[in-house]
Structure 1
Amino acid sequence: MLQTESTAWVCSVPVATVWTAPEKARPVDAEGIAEHPNINNWLKSMSQEDNQDLVNGNRIQTQLLYGEPVLIEEVVNDWAKIIALWQPCQKDERGYPGWVPASQLKEVENLTELGYARVKHNKAQLWTEDFKPLKVVSFNTMLPVKEIGEFIRLQTPDGDALVMTEAVEIVSAYSQSPKGSGVDIAELGADFLDLPYLWAGMSSYGLDCSGLTYNLMKANGVIISRDAVDQVLEGFEVDPSAAESWHIGDLLFFAHEEGKGKIHHVGVYYGNGLMLHSPKPGKSVEIIELAGTKHEVELCAIRRFTEIEDRED
């Protein structure tokens, strides 16, 4: 599965889960690792204990979206060891490492001349050229543009496809969405209220805490690292003890041992002492008041990724 300079290996399914190792997949995960995975059925098939075991068992790392490029390092027993090139990570300077079923990857022509179409909506329908339903893809899916007209013609792992113009934003590169303000970040986050938490989740089927912040920032023109432990080292430092200096859209980080231990959570400041976040297995994206919660005592850092002039409280 070696690629040439004129081709790239990409995710060929709407959402591919990146596993810590092939043996980490369980029988209950069959729908998630199939050649044509059904993420909804996979999530429904898991009990609360199965869901929590994704965390406790260190089973999954992150997820890929349709068309997202990867570097394949090796293939072993139908599993590909990959680097997710669009997801910065301290684990590997090239991107996020892990394993995906090789059947969920495909080689395509390298095509970037007209930029990418980024899905703005929670989900978007892709159509074949004769207007038959092709695939439903997640928010923040980015696919190369081939032609701009009444519909946008895209290059996909399934051949040319069409998407409605209003469902996407055209950008020159995957990291070049227009810069949003802190308010834009927070308002977009509210679109995901009640979306279930999924450990390692990176799609509009389920997000974990840092998957939510990564995707909100990406949609607003800021590429940050995939994981909270890396995100906390980026952006501009804001004093956690000076609440009057916090701005809507800042990222709030939390650590064990009342803020002195290991980083374990991140959320988005929503103004007025509120936070938008994806909490934990069994819960969904929500807005909470920080005062009186464990988060209040675990707050350890705040980082800003937008220009202060661009936003208002």
Structure 2
Amino acid sequence: MINQTFDENEIWVVAVQVATVWTSKESTRRIDEPGLLNPTDMDHWVTKLTTEQKTALCDENRVQSQLLYGETVEVTLIDGDWAQVVIPTQPSNKDNRGYPGWVPLIQLEKVEKEYWDQSKSAAVISKKAWLEGDNGEKVMKLSYMTCLPVLGEHPRKIEVATPNGTRILPNEVVHIYETKAGLEKKNGTAIVEAGEQFMDLAYFWGGMSSFGYDCSGFSYATHKACGYQIPRDATEQAEAGEHVAYGDLLPGDLLFFAYEEGKGDLHHVGIYYGNGQMIHSRTNGKAVEITNIADTVYEKELCEMRRYWHE
């Protein structure tokens, strides 16, 4: 084991399209190999797993979260082929530095901080986008809300910094923003619209990408797209933000549900859609959908309502 010493001139970033954050080094299975390599093959992994195998990621406490290409982490320990990390961009009560877990070391890369700290960043705004090489060859399929430093802007392409050197993103698939300011803050309707494009996307436990979201990953990503950083997990999402009474709900507000008709453990979060409906990434074996609340189990289990957005 190697305890990390920190070089202020270097940072660790994710070097694959999506890096899954595991509970421990022993959490992976042979069937998870497409999500453990570099490069990863998320399309193959998420579609080939059976519903039972996906459910085991949760029930057997195997997966904690996920990271997107270029996302920065703090590496606290290296143990063989694995890195123990915390994720500053995913707030969590589990560690005040960020969400904790384990990532295959091969999926991380050190980069020079000066290279990475650019004044502008490019956020992928399409569901998925191909990162390209200099000659236009497709290098990697990126998830929605992958954010990379901008090195140059051209009429049809954006040069971005990556863990693998300078690459290209087509202009039409990204939104450029000032890095220090972050993505522009939008209203609740925009949060709903961010979620609508993922209708029928299959649920994936721990999912934080457009290859598959879990319920809180879905609310996290839609808020991120609209300029708001919220906690990673539903339990903590229900404790922050602003409380909203049921009669004052507006599209974009978060709805939380607990067992025992709202009195037990919190287990789900959805986004209020308007007209007594919510949009949510439902559960294993299901997908992102719009659901009526009245006369359903959700009406009985509704326990909290929170708002993070503002006009």
SS at match of 1:24: coil
Higher alpha-carbon deviation: 285-294 or 28-37: 28-37
Check conservation: 1:10, 1:157, Cα contact below 8 A: yes
Is residue 157 from structure 1 mapped to residue 163 from structure 2 by the alignment?
Answer: yes
Q: What is the Cα deviation at residue 2 of structure 1?
A: 4.6
Structure 1 counterpart of 2:275: 272
The whole-number CA distance in structure 1 between the counterparts of 2:37 and 2:84 is 17
Mapping for residues 25-44 of structure 1, pairs under 5 Å: 25-44=28-47
Cα 1:175/1:45, change in 2 over 3 Å: farther
The whole-number CA distance in structure 2 between the counterparts of 1:221 and 1:174 is 12
5+ unaligned residues in a row in structure 1: which ranges? none
Check conservation: 1:142, 1:174, Cα contact below 8 A: no
TM-score, normalised via structure 2 length: 0.95
Higher alpha-carbon deviation: 142-151 or 277-286: 142-151
Structure 1 counterpart of 2:303: 300
Percent same amino acid at aligned positions?
43
Aligned with 2:232 (options 226, 243, 254): 226
Q: What is the Cα deviation at residue 3 of structure 1?
A: 4.5
Cα 1:12/1:2, change in 2 over 3 Å: farther
Aligned with 1:138 (options 128, 138, 143): 143
The whole-number CA distance in structure 2 between the counterparts of 1:169 and 1:285 is 24
The whole-number CA distance in structure 1 between the counterparts of 2:63 and 2:181 is 25
Mapping for residues 50-89 of structure 1, pairs under 5 Å: 50-89=53-92
Check conservation: 1:145, 1:154, Cα contact below 8 A: yes
Check conservation: 2:88, 2:98, Cα contact below 8 A: yes
Structure 1 counterpart of 2:177: 171
The whole-number CA distance in structure 1 between the counterparts of 2:262 and 2:49 is 32
1:134-191: CA deviation from partner (whole Å, max 9, x where unpaired): 1110000011111122211100011101111121111223771111111111111110
Check conservation: 1:112, 1:145, Cα contact below 8 A: no
Name the amino acid aligned to 2:185: K
Aligned with 2:256 (options 250, 253, 278): 253
5+ unaligned residues in a row in structure 2: which ranges? none
Structure 2 counterpart of 1:124: 129
1:86-145: CA deviation from partner (whole Å, max 9, x where unpaired): 111110111110001000000112222322111111011111122222111000001111
Name the amino acid aligned to 1:45: K
SS at match of 2:243: strand
The whole-number CA distance in structure 1 between the counterparts of 2:184 and 2:135 is 32
Cα 1:234/1:205, change in 2 over 3 Å: same
Structure 2 counterpart of 1:47: 50
Check conservation: 1:11, 1:105, Cα contact below 8 A: yes
Name the amino acid aligned to 1:55: C
Name the amino acid aligned to 2:280: H
Structure 1 counterpart of 2:117: 112
Check conservation: 2:28, 2:62, Cα contact below 8 A: yes
The whole-number CA distance in structure 2 between the counterparts of 1:196 and 1:19 is 20
Check conservation: 2:15, 2:69, Cα contact below 8 A: yes
The whole-number CA distance in structure 2 between the counterparts of 1:117 and 1:8 is 19
SS at match of 2:161: strand
SS at match of 1:41: helix
Q: What is the Cα deviation at residue 299 of structure 1?
A: 0.4
The whole-number CA distance in structure 1 between the counterparts of 2:194 and 2:118 is 29
TM-score, normalised via structure 1 length: 0.95
1:50-108: CA deviation from partner (whole Å, max 9, x where unpaired): 11111100100000000000011111120110111211111011111000100000011
The whole-number CA distance in structure 2 between the counterparts of 1:155 and 1:147 is 9
Check conservation: 1:2, 1:72, Cα contact below 8 A: no
Name the amino acid aligned to 1:133: K
Aligned with 2:241 (options 235, 240, 264): 235
Check conservation: 2:270, 2:280, Cα contact below 8 A: yes
CA RMSD, aligned part only? Answer: 1.3
Check conservation: 2:119, 2:179, Cα contact below 8 A: no
SS at match of 2:166: strand
Mapping for residues 11-30 of structure 1, pairs under 5 Å: 11-30=14-33
1:17-70: CA deviation from partner (whole Å, max 9, x where unpaired): 000001011111111112322111112231111111111001000000000000
Check conservation: 1:116, 1:144, Cα contact below 8 A: yes
The whole-number CA distance in structure 1 between the counterparts of 2:303 and 2:266 is 8
The whole-number CA distance in structure 1 between the counterparts of 2:135 and 2:278 is 45
